[in-house]
Amino acid sequence: MPPDYLEPIITIRVTKSNGIAFEKTIVVEDGLVEIPLEEIGTDWFNPYGGPYTLQYLHPSTQDVITFNWDGKTVEGVEWNMAPGLSDITICTLDIF
């Protein structure tokens, strides 16, 4: 969650390398958001679908929210899933 974002809801978009995306507006709780993995599907995150890109969108405008990460202003973060992690029930990204 971008540290300077103070709204009670935010839209997240997670995109796979093939361009397929999951988008959901979520309630912000204590500065954190929880992506509902059960709504995405159990095999959506896997070692072969990445890299994955997470973006935050303003819920009323759908504009991408930029934030500072690793000393740069970015529009999202990218990661891969390691083999053996396809049956995850929780995925935590500690980017801030």
CB burial of 66-85 (b: ≥16 within 10 Å; e: otherwise) equals ebeeeeeeeebbeeebeeee
Number of C-beta neighbours around residue 10 at 10 A: 19
Q: Is the pLDDT of residue 17 over 60?
A: yes
What is the reported pLDDT for 65? 94
pTM equals 0.81
Residue 69: which of 54, 51, 59 has the closest Cα?
54
pLDDT digits (tens, 9 = 90+) for 18-32: 999 999 999 988 888
